Structure 1
């Protein structure tokens, strides 16, 4: 498992808290807080875009 430096969690209203992280090679990760051993890996920009879209309500149907 890579050494991931996790950021503070982002928590939506009534939804799970997500955390973004990065490793020494610059790979980006996202996981549900408390389940950091089960993560998705992609580019940092792609993961940030996904979180911003969720915050903007573009993916509410995925969170219910």
Structure 2
């Protein structure tokens, strides 16, 4: 079964690394490197939200 993911605009760090967040209609959250949306990571919305907030706060920018 194919899940339709609604992707947000890419978020790009200063080093040109870009990722995208997405959600589906069942409440799952996804994160993918921009351009590689066909192989996203998935977890709960809260888990991915926490990860992104930490990255944006500069605590994990080495992951990008």
Any unmatched runs of 5+ in structure 2? none
In structure 2, what is the Cα distance between the partners aligned to 1:61 and 1:6?
Answer: 23
Tell me which residue corresponds to 2:43: 42
CA RMSD of aligned residues (A): 1.3
Any unmatched runs of 5+ in structure 1? none
In structure 2, what is the Cα distance between the partners aligned to 1:39 and 1:32?
Answer: 8
CA deviations on 1:31-57 (whole Å, 9 max, x unpaired) are 011000110111112111101111212
| Moved segments of 4+, more than 6 Å | none
1:59 aligns with 2:57: no
Tell me which residue corresponds to 2:10: 9
- In the superposition, the TM-score normalised over structure 2's length comes to 0.84
